[in-house]
Structure 1
Amino acid sequence: MTGTHRGDSHSVVARAGKSFRIALAAAVLASGAELIDQATAQTNPERLGTVSFETSCSPEAQKLFDKAMLYQHSFWYRASQRTFEEVLKKDPDCGIAYWGIALSLLWNPHVPPPAKNLADGAAVLTKGKTVGAKTQRERDYLDALWVMYADYDKVDHRTRIVAYSKAMEQLAQRYRDDDEAQIHYALALNTSASPADKTYANQLKGGALLEPIFQRKPDHPGVAHYLIHLYDYPPIAEKGLDAARRYAQIAPAAAHAQHMPSHIFTRLGLWDDSIRSNAESARVAKEDGEAGDQLHAMDYLVYANLQLGQDRKAKAVIDEMVTVKGADAYFPAGYALAASPARYAIERGDWKEAAVLPVRAGAPPHVQAISYWARALGAARTGDPASAKADIAKLAELRDKLREAKDAYWAEQVDIQCQVATAWVLYAEGKYDEALKAMSAAADAEDRSEKHPVTPGVPKPARELYGVMLLERGNAGDALVAFEATLKKEPNRLAAYAGAAKAAEMSGDKAKARQHFAKVTTIAAGADEDRAEIADARQFLVKNP
């Protein structure tokens, strides 16, 4: 994710005392929070897990505060914000509630929040400091979160998230018996981790903090949730399987809790589990009117269905996705709407379709880049390098915009897309040695980085595309190495197994070819009949029993 937000932010620019609370409530109602009144009334908190966050607030406010934390820990931000605001109605002097509102306004901590949310959150925290909190611990929580908002209009998100992680480390050390401090620190360790750190030091440190808490508090939604995020990396994904199996049971009323297990399922290639997880998440989100959650789950559904060769099911999901409205402002939703059609065309090798994919007007640069990349790849693969070069030029513009915005991660990802597309243009122009060299470099660059937590994976791994290029040039041995390397990083990818099988066959290694072709038929046991690679696998196994 990976995760989703829960609706539009509310204006919380404050005036003193009672007038602030009246203005806040009016702004909430004006932005449609009456929907949340219905949602929170219908949702049984007992179906969201168990959280106890000690405060100095009144007993009635304390109950509401714990309820708000249930929503917050499952990234149900609109509901958590509304409930923290209800806390203030019960106890206007509950200063820590302002911390909760500001935390809700950050939305998914893996994604930079909109500028408006940062302005609103800064105002809320300022008000919270003015009202004051009754204990030093609560004041320390407010101060730590302020690091995420301080100079938000001058300091980039990456710098602030790293500073926030350090502030949470100090908080966690100061209050070692405070489980919530440890839990929020563990999450900050993950969100501030460098994508280039292949030792996963931050993630393993966060996991070590949470594992003993999970033993003591097996129904805490945040612990299970954040363990999944912490272990959402190929070499350590197995560590997250227990949390993945349990999180959906801990919080069955939360759409995000139904979705999150699929992060681990995707890393391990457990496609049927991922489909069940995201089908339920999409259903719950649709019932709750949560478009962002629904689209996010549907993107993972498309990915998993394509890995099983169930193309018609994937297409049905995509057709439904375009009818979902109301989540354009949130990155995971926009990403899903761009990535799923690209996946559908590229995984099926429909290069003509890929070459004419529409680009979402007004979408952020890194969302538009997905479509331009797919278009460039499709054009190159259909022998139209001129059109591909035009799309690559657009990619370069988007990469430069991201660099100017100091968004280093997405600038790097778009640069890798440029490299991949350029390699295939060289290939289309008959410059095969240059193309292979460029494609190898692109695959190396992608392997040094990490996929974003929001997405199940890039539309097509660069290493897998390198294998395709090698195979087409008759270099079956190196192609086999490339495909098997892809499978080590991204298990049970159908196209990677099909490529590995073909490469082994061309290399004369019938035993390995039989092994990989058998895996293709196992994965695609319920596939549609029109995937050529599946038909090839079945034919080989008949001829080579």
Structure 2
Amino acid sequence: MREFLFAATIATGAVFGTCAPGLAQEDADQKLGTVHFATSCNETAQRRFDRAMRYQHSFWYAESREIYEAAIKADPECAIAYWGIALSLLNNPHGAIPAPNLPLGLSAIEKAKAAGAKTERERDYIDALAVMYVDYDKTPQPARVQSYLKKMEALAAKYPDDDEAQIFYAITLNVAASPADKTYANQLKGAAILEPIWQRQPQHPGVAHYLIHLYDYPAIAAKGLPAALRYSKIAPNAPHAQHMPSHIFTRVGYWKESIAANLASVQAAKANREGGEQLHGQDYLVYAYLQLGQDAAARKVVDEIEATQPDPDAFGGAFSRAAAPARYMVERGDWKGAANLDVKPSKFPHVMAITHFARALGAARSGDSAAAKVDVARLAEIRDSLREAKNNYWAGQVDVQQQAANAWVLYADGKYDDALTAMSAAVDAEDKTEKAPVTPGPLAPARELYGFMLLDRGMAKEALAAFEATMAKEPNRFNGYVGAAKAAQALGDTGKAKAAYEKLVALSAGSDSDRPTLAAARTFVANN
């Protein structure tokens, strides 16, 4: 199945190289899936509204907004189209609404209400979305999201036969889910809503798309494979539909499939001048290439990322520009390279924190604890500023980075017991949260870093347990196999060491890497 998936995804990506600019609109729309959102608008506006929704459900916001506007031109009384404009201005609902979009979204909601929707159902949709914009300058977005969830829950209950109401409620359950809830109650509830709709509407882009989001967690990721296998085929013209399956592929360690998906996504994003989508896919590409030991391919993508000039207000692009070069250094164990990374200025402090974390880790593991302490202090400042801004999620993520980096500073200073205690605390903190949808994963899982610290202290048994626990959550990672093999080897368990090294060698069969750990793995397998 994996071979079939790889070939099918490449074939899907080829679509973008063969579509002529003059392709009929109807044909193009057919490659975005099938959506019908019943409205009280006239026939022309209804067709345009449905078309806009096909873009909307694949997070193609600028295009969907233009088509909602076209629907209003066809029917000035089409109030629900103003709701559509406000919906598009949310951008990716899993992130903060871009600041420039907030007054625009509020204006769209006000216009929707002034236009006077002809049905109670449409008025209910407008009233529900209004909570995301009204008093945006007074109420933090997380609180507005929780209010929106309650509104969508009521809307879905009031209109049980309205699939669109159920679909938007399901994705809102994911957006509003607590990263500390390891039962995944919201996510599983949302998926249970969508699964039967998918049976009725197998070509609906939003259903497949949102199922991937709802299952994008290590413990339940395998449940998302059917949607991951289908989404790119449902909406092959949408860049995000090419990329999104890689969220599941990353969670289950399907690196070749992730690469194929993101190559198609990046190609589509470039063709459609979707800079943010391009950079997002490229970050996932770098991550996947590094797990296969394809370091030259990863470096090429990093260079391309660093040559871009992204929208300064676009979080995803800024994140990619910080994360990709940092993970290139950290995953390869190039600690001096990591220590010398440049911190790119950003309006998002948690983006700059990624580079400070890599620099601190690199300096500490190079033995320069003084330099590392500067970046650790900067991480603490960023964490505190995020807390003051009530940005609790990202404050928590930076806190994990600060704890892990500080642990390695303690280790560099020879305070080994304190370092192990601090690193264990960082592991506990990371276990209590979840990664953000914007990233394929942390620069290095905290428990994996802990495993290497334990291994260096001669605590091979504890290290092996740490690596095995990491691999259960983050399967098929290059460094996970390295750590497990080294720990088993230190314990004298040649069989387990060989099994881990064999998996590493197989994983990196097409590698161009000169990492010493890979050479050691090949030698061990050949001699045992």
- My pick for the range that moved more, 146-155 or 207-216, is 146-155
- Paired with 1:122 and 1:411, the residues of 2 have a C-alpha distance of 28
Could you say what secondary structure the match of 1:306 adopts? Answer: helix
State the AA in 2 paired with 1:85. E
Matches within 5 A, 1:303-318: 303-318=287-302
Give the C-alpha shift of residue 147 in structure 1: 1.2
Say which SS state the counterpart of residue 44 (structure 1) adopts.
helix
For residue 435 of structure 2, the aligned residue among 451, 464, 470 is: 451
State which of 471, 474, 478 in structure 2 corresponds to 1:494: 478
Q: CA deviation at 1:444?
A: 1.1
* Partner residue, 1:25: none
Alpha-carbon shift at residue 332 of structure 1 (Å): 1.0
The reply to whether residue 468 of structure 1 matches residue 440 of structure 2 is no
Tell me the CA shift for residue 328 of structure 1. Answer: 2.8
* Structure 2 unaligned spans of 5+: 1-20
1:67 partnered with 2:51? yes
- For residues 247-297 of structure 1, the C-alpha deviation after alignment (integer angstroms, 9 at most, x for no partner) is 000000000000000000000000000000000000000011110010000
Counterpart of 2:335 in structure 1 is 351
Question: In the alignment, which residue of structure 1 is the partner of 2:118?
Answer: 134
Q: Which residue of structure 1 lines up, in the alignment, with residue 184 of structure 2?
A: 200
Alpha carbons 2:447, 2:466 under 8 Å: kept? yes
Residue identity opposite 2:38 in structure 1: E
Counterpart contact for 1:43–1:253, Cα < 8 Å = no
Structure 1 residues 148 and 38, CA gap change in structure 2 (3 angstroms): farther
Change in 2 beyond 3 A, CA 1:87/1:39: farther
The answer to whether the 8 A contact 2:294-2:513 is kept is no
Deviations 1:471-518 (A, max 9, x none): 111111000001111100000001011110010010111111111111
Partner of 2:399: 415
Q: 1:535 aligns with which of 510, 519, 527?
A: 519
Partners in 2 of 1:193 and 1:94 — Cα distance? 33
Q: Structure 1-normalised TM-score?
A: 0.92
> What's 2:324 paired with?
340
- State which of 149, 152, 171 in structure 2 corresponds to 1:168: 152
The alignment partner of 2:78 has SS state of coil
Cα 1:496–1:54 shift into 2, 3 Å: same
Distance 1:193 1:68 in 2: 27
Aligned position for 1:252: 236
Residue in structure 2 matched with residue 284 of structure 1 by the alignment: 268
Map Cα deviations across residues 370-391 of structure 1 (whole Å, 9 max, x no partner). 0011111111111111111111
What is the CA–CA distance in structure 2 between the aligned matches of 1:159 and 1:142, rounded to whole Å? 18
Q: 2-side partners of 1:356 and 1:474: how far apart? A: 29
For 1:518, the equivalent position in structure 2 comes to: 502
Output the CA distance in 2 between the equivalents of 1:151 and 1:98.
Answer: 19
**CA deviation string 1:285-322 (max 9, x = no partner):** 00111100100000000000000000000000011112
For 2:386, give the aligned amino acid.
L
Contact in 1 for aligned 2:221/2:252 (Cα 8 Å): yes
For structure 1, the 5+ residue unaligned runs are: 1-36
SS of the equivalent of 1:235 reads coil
Partner of 2:384: 400
- Residue pair 2:228, 2:244 contacting (<8 A) in 1 also: yes
Q: 1:77-92, aligned counterparts within 5 Å?
A: 77-92=61-76
Q: For each residue in 1:126-179, what CA deviation from the matched residue of structure 2 results, as whole angstroms up to 9, or x when unmatched?
A: 111011100000000000001111211111111111111111000000000000
Q: Which residue identity does 1:227 align to in structure 2?
A: L
Where do residues 216-235 of structure 1 align in structure 2 (5 Å cutoff)?
Answer: 216-235=200-219
- Is the aligned partner of 1:433 residue 2:421? no
CA distance in 1, matches of 2:498, 2:373: 40
Change in 2 beyond 3 A, CA 1:529/1:374? closer
Contact preservation (8 Å) 2:310, 2:318: no
Distance 1:38 1:355, change over 3 A: farther
> Quick one: distance in 2 between partners of 1:118 and 1:541?
58
Q: 1:407/1:43 Cα in 2 relative to 1: closer, same or farther (>3 Å)?
A: farther
Secondary structure of residue in 2 paired with 1:414: helix
Alpha-carbon distance between aligned partners in 2 of 1:179 and 1:354, rounded to the nearest angstrom: 49
| Percentage of matched positions with identical amino acids | 61
CA distance in 2, matches of 1:533, 1:482: 19
1:329 equivalent among 304, 313, 322: 313
Q: Which residue of 1 aligns with 2:15?
A: none
What does residue 106 of structure 2 align with? Answer: 122
Name the aligned partner's letter for residue 192 of structure 1: A
| Alignment partners' CA distance in 2, 1:72 and 1:403 | 32
For the aligned residue pairs, the C-alpha RMSD in angstroms reads 1.3
Contact 1:39 1:288 in 2 (8 A): no
Deviations, residues 65-97 of structure 1 (Å, cap 9, x unaligned): 000000000000000111101110000000000
Alignment of 1:505 with 2:489, yes or no, is: yes
Give the letter aligned to residue 426 of structure 1: L
User: Residues 427-478 of structure 1, C-alpha deviation per residue, up to 9 Å, x if partnerless?
Assistant: 0000000000100110111011100011100111100000010011111100
Deviation by residue 1:384-433 (Cα, 9 ceiling, x = unmatched): 11111111111111111111110110000001111001000000000000
Query: How much has 1:55 moved relative to structure 2?
Result: 0.2
Structure-2 change in CA distance of 1:72 and 1:388 (3 Å): same
Task: State the shift of 1:42 in Å.
Answer: 9.8
Q: Take 2:458 and 2:377, find their aligned partners in 1: how far apart are those partners?
A: 31
Q: How does 1:377-388 map to 2 (within 5 A)?
A: 377-388=361-372
Matched residue type, 2:213: H
The one-letter amino acid paired with 1:280 is A
Q: How has the CA–CA distance of structure 1 residues 417 and 326 changed in structure 2, closer, same or farther, with 3 Å as cutoff? A: closer
Residue 30 of structure 2: which of 34, 46, 53 is its match? 46
Contact 2:166–2:193 under 8 Å retained in 1: yes
**Which is worse superposed, 94-103 or 525-534?**
525-534
Counterpart CA distance in 2 for 1:479 and 1:539 is 22
TM-score, length basis structure 2: 0.95
- Secondary structure of 1:451's counterpart equals coil
